[in-house]
Chain A
Amino acid sequence: NAGVMQNPRHLVRRRGQEARLRCSPMKGHSHVYWYRQLPEEGLKFMVYLQKENIIDESGMPKERFSAEFPKEGPSILRIQQVVRGDSAAYFCASSPKGLAGGPSTDTQYFGPGTRLTVL
């Protein structure tokens, strides 16, 4: 069973360009979470998605950032018009379906991350 996969592993963009980060959850997992780790900072929760639904985006900046998890294919974190402050490691995690449709209390399995550098 392959783990959580993220690509690209490293992404370089110039200010004003768009960044698209992809995450494929573990097989059988229907919950996806995105986190951001700024230099010298802890990981911060951004958004929680289930298939075709955004459940909680309370940690995601209101402008320029969006996320989706379509019925088919990977979850995408999209950052428009990137700025230098967006430079960070972006991690995706997945977990199995929670009981009674609620939040999963199982282990979150993390991918290797995408390291975004904005020049």
Chain B
Amino acid sequence: KQEVTQIPAALSVPEGENLVLNCSFTDSAIYNLQWFRQDPGKGLTSLLLIQSSQREQTSGRLNASLDKSSGRSTLYIAASQPGDSATYLCAVHSGGGADGLTFGKGTHLIIQP
């Protein structure tokens, strides 16, 4: 059974800092891994999708890496801004007949102005 863990559970940093969010998963047989952002009381916004054959994806100030063999992904946020404050969720789409995404519990990020 796939399990996804995100570290840290919460993070508070001053504006302008670069930061790294971590995600680990127990079963390396995955189709892809997605990073989402969730604002309080809102739905999920997809940030980056990394297919199992890829090593990283970049979008603006965001960079996500994937090391499938070790079951790890990182989300790097450069030059953080107060608007980046949200909960960041990591989710894997596993193979082996598991059709839904398996989510971590998220990292609650606060960027201090």
Partners in one complex: yes
Contact indicator B46/A59 (Cβ below 8 Å): no
* Chain A nearest Cβ from B7, distance in angstroms: 14
Per-position contact with A for B80-99: 1 when CB-CB < 8 Å, else 0? 00000000010101000111
Question: Across the two chains, which residue of chain B brings its CB closest to A46?
Answer: B100
Contact indicator B103/A42 (Cβ below 8 Å): yes
Q: Is the interface of A mostly helix, strand, loop or mixed?
A: strand
Contact indicator B93/A105 (Cβ below 8 Å): yes
Q: How many A-B residue pairs have CB under 8 A?
A: 65
A-facing residues in B1-50 (Cβ within 8 Å)? 4, 31-32, 34, 36, 41-46, 49
Measured CA separation A54–B35 after assembly (Å): 26
Residue of A45, A48, A109, A112 most packed against chain B (CB within 10 A): A45
B-facing residues in A97-119 (Cβ within 8 Å)? 103, 105-113, 115
Residues on B with beta carbons closer than 8 Å to the beta carbon of A46:
100
The contact size tier of chain B is 20 to 34
- How many residues of chain A have a CB within 8 Å of chain B? 27
Residues on B with beta carbons closer than 8 Å to the beta carbon of A59:
100
Give the B-binding residues of A (Cβ under 8 A). 33, 35, 41-48, 55-56, 58-59, 91, 93, 103, 105-113, 115
Q: List 23 A-B contacts (CB under 8 A).
A: A33-B99, A33-B101, A35-B103, A42-B89, A42-B103, A42-B104, A42-B105, A43-B91, A46-B100, A47-B100, A55-B99, A56-B97, A56-B98, A56-B99, A56-B100, A58-B98, A91-B44, A93-B101, A105-B51, A107-B49, A110-B44, A112-B42, A115-B41
